Homo-oligomer: A and B are copies of this chain.
Amino acid sequence: MPRPGPLSLNTATVRERWGLAECVDGCARRGIPGISPWRDALADAGGAQRAARRIREAGLTVSSLCRGGMFTVVDATSRRAAVQDNRRAIAEAHALGAACLVVVSGGLPPGSKDLDGAREMVRDGLAEVLDEARAAGVTLALEPQYPVACADRSVLSTLAQAVDLCDESGTGMGVVLDVWQVWWDPDLARQVARAHGRIAAFQASDWLVPTTDLAPDRGMPGDGVIDIPRLRAMAEAAGYRGPVEVEVLSDGGGRVTLERCCRW
């Protein structure tokens, strides 16, 4: 396997054992130059400003902040709350100097079967916060998620949809290429090429065979069936020069260690 380029540790990979402070120290100790915190890790570390200072002092780059989005809601009150939360997320990403804010769209609102309507809510929600993101210099990085998440978490299912939204919106938006979410897509090569210059983050984990549980059952890069170097090459051909974020959501214990992240 070719060298995967500079690494960034997504804090969710080691969340069972480490808070933000341990992640920062671990990255510094192991020579991992980047970090990608989740917002709960910031909160646990005393907020974005304190976290930003700690990360900066350790000399780490913030490749992304996870996450904003969740625009698919049942009523106007929830909608206002979602927009407010995205504003806070943009401010946190700005404080961290993060390259982007990962946006997960949200699934079907409870009780709804209106998939087109939910996708419309995502478009509207993004439009509502985009100017603020532009002003803060924070790219809204749309993450298409595996269709199995369509009902619960992400009505944005394909890279094609994400690139379409970028095309409609002009500057300020990009896409996240999380290989676990998109590796199956028969249209992937074409869509990655379409995303030229707009890939804001590249996240690596692997699809295990068998995969028995859907959210947390990801494998370490190299342990599964995804041809990650091929996807990385596609991303680089499409102008991506950023790090490989190792984001292995897993309850499997044991499988995930910082040492293995470094070796990969």
A253 at the interface (CB under 8 A from B): no
A112 at the interface (CB under 8 A from B): yes
Taken residue by residue from 137 to 168, chain A's Cβ proximity to chain B (1 for < 8 Å, 0 otherwise) reads as 00000000011101110000110110000000
A43 at the interface (CB under 8 A from B): no
> What B residues does A252 contact at CB under 8 A?
none
User: Which of A31-39, A68-76, A178-186, A196-204 faces chain B?
Assistant: A178-186
In the complex, residue of chain B having the shortest beta-carbon distance to the beta carbon of A164: B186
Q: For the complex, give the distance between the alpha carbons of A114 and B227 in Å.
A: 7
| With A108-B225, A225-B112: A148-B146 Cβ-Cβ less than 8 Å | yes
Q: For the complex, give the distance between the alpha carbons of A52 and B247 in Å.
A: 53
Contact between A150 and B108 (Cβ–Cβ < 8 Å)? Answer: no
A119 at the interface (CB under 8 A from B): yes
A211 at the interface (CB under 8 A from B): yes
Task: Give chain A interface residues in 101-116, CB to chain B under 8 Å.
Answer: 108, 112-115
> How many whole Å from A168's CB to the nearest CB in chain B?
14
Contact between A113 and B157 (Cβ–Cβ < 8 Å)? Answer: no
Of the four ranges (under 10, 10 to 19, 20 to 34, 35 or more), the interface on chain A belongs to 20 to 34
Contact between B108 and A148 (Cβ–Cβ < 8 Å)? Answer: no
| With A108-B225, A225-B108: A115-B151 Cβ-Cβ less than 8 Å | no
> What B residues does A254 contact at CB under 8 A?
none
| With A151-B225, A225-B108: A186-B158 Cβ-Cβ less than 8 Å | yes
What are 27 A-B contacts defined by CB distance under 8 Å? A108-B209, A108-B225, A112-B225, A113-B225, A113-B226, A113-B227, A115-B183, A115-B184, A115-B227, A119-B186, A146-B148, A147-B147, A147-B185, A148-B148, A148-B211, A150-B184, A151-B184, A151-B207, A151-B211, A151-B225, A152-B210, A157-B184, A158-B186, A160-B186, A160-B187, A161-B186, A211-B214
Beyond A113-B227, A150-B184, 19 additional pairs, beta carbon < 8 A: A108-B225, A113-B226, A114-B227, A115-B227, A147-B148, A147-B184, A150-B207, A151-B207, A151-B209, A151-B211, A151-B224, A152-B209, A152-B210, A157-B184, A157-B186, A158-B187, A160-B186, A161-B186, A214-B214
Interface residues of A (CB under 8 A from B): 108, 112-115, 119, 146-148, 150-152, 157-158, 160-161, 183-187, 207, 209-211, 214, 224-227
